[in-house]
């Protein structure tokens, strides 16, 4: 494997406005390409918008979704990839032949769809179906995987994706700044976002505290460290429907160290060079080699009653 330059982006998407969102995706992809990146990753449902979908009827959600690979949005993403010689990863709602709808994340190049992942733990709308498989694909000789938002909170998903061969995992999110049972969690007042130019300090304190980045740092670096992977985390900035999101899009290496992070309130991206040497140097590679699956394979395989509780959806 050779070194690869990857960008992760964040922007304030508009609910249901695919044309606007795709225009922002193109603008950021163009700039990333000009600065030497070969890949750019955007957040969960960045093409369609996300949080507003909880208010849609089943018919409206179906109308918002698209079939792959022939849908207009994937075709547009393919055009962007070809125009700027970039691999582009982005999220939207997918509709299959039986009109089941999925929260899906796609990877496209100049020739079209390279890979797609259907969210394994979808919850924003009762009519959403859930994915039933992991996604492994190749970019420039690198084995990659995708896990969408809540998928990454279930640690078995990250380990399984690693064991299937992924050394880079794209982790698109719409997260943070929502209520939870954990101390310090909660929504961020949208007036702080609206007043960000006059009072950036108050907003940054909310974004970086336990409502946002401080919580993220409790677990995200551990996913990279424990599994000896590069984690490409992307998250929106600004208003997502009626919720403020704090960005923090970042790239974390197999040591759990942050290589690059978006710290702007603007639509933006950061880039990092991904190198193969760290994969074996990092402790996670030794921990994987030292596993004794015979001790716990039956425990992991035991049937249980699955329950997905999301505090802010109550």
What domains can you pick out in the chain, each with its CATH number?
4-313 (3.60.110.10)
Structure tokens at 246: 């704090």
Global pTM? Answer: 0.97
* Confidence (pLDDT) at 314: 59
Residue 37 pLDDT = 98
CA–CA separation, 213 and 74 (whole Å): 31
Q: How confident is the model at residue 68 (pLDDT cuts 50, 70, 90)?
A: confident
**How high is the pLDDT of residue 301?**
85
Contact 136, 118 (CB under 8 A): no
Q: What is the pLDDT of residue 312?
A: 65
Predicted confidence at residue 313, as pLDDT, reads: 72
pLDDT confidence bin for 69, thresholds 50/70/90: confident
């Amino acid at each position: 494997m050779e070194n690869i330059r990857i960008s992760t982006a964040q922007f304030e998407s508009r609910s249901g406005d695919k044309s606007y969102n795709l225009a922002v995706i193109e603008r950021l992809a163009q700039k990333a390409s000009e600065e030497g990146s070969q890949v750019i990753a955007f957040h969960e449902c960045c093409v369609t918008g996300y949080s507003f979908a909880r208010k849609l009827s089943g018919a409206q959600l179906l109308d918002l979704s698209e079939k792959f690979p022939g849908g207009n949005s994937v075709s547009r993403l393919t055009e962007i990839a070809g125009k700027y010689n970039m691999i582009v990863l982005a999220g939207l709602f997918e509709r299959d032949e039986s009109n089941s709808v999925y929260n899906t994340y796609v990877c496209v190049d100049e020739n079209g769809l390279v890979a797609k992942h259907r969210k394994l733990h979808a919850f924003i709308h009762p009519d959403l179906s859930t994915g039933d498989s992991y996604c492994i694909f190749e970019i420039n000789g690198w084995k990659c995987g995708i896990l969408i938002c809540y998928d990454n909170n279930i640690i078995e998903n990250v380990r399984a994706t690693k064991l299937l061969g992924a050394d880079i995992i794209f982790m698109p999110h719409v997260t943070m700044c929502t209520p939870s049972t954990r101390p310090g969690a909660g929504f961020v007042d949208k007036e702080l976002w609206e007043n960000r130019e006059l009072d950036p300090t108050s907003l940054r304190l909310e974004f970086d505290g336990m409502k946002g980045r401080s919580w993220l740092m409790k677990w995200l670096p551990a996913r990279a460290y424990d599994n000896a992977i590069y984690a490409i985390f992307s998250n929106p900035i600004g208003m997502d429907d009626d919720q403020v999101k704090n960005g923090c899009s970042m790239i974390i290496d197999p040591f759990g160290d942050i290589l690059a992070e978006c710290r702007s309130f603007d639509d933006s991206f950061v880039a990092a060079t991904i190198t193969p040497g760290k994969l074996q140097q990092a402790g996670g590679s030794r921990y994987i080699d030292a596993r004794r699956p015979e001790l716990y394979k039956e425990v992991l395989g035991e049937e249980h009653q699955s329950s997905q509780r999301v505090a802010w959806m109550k």
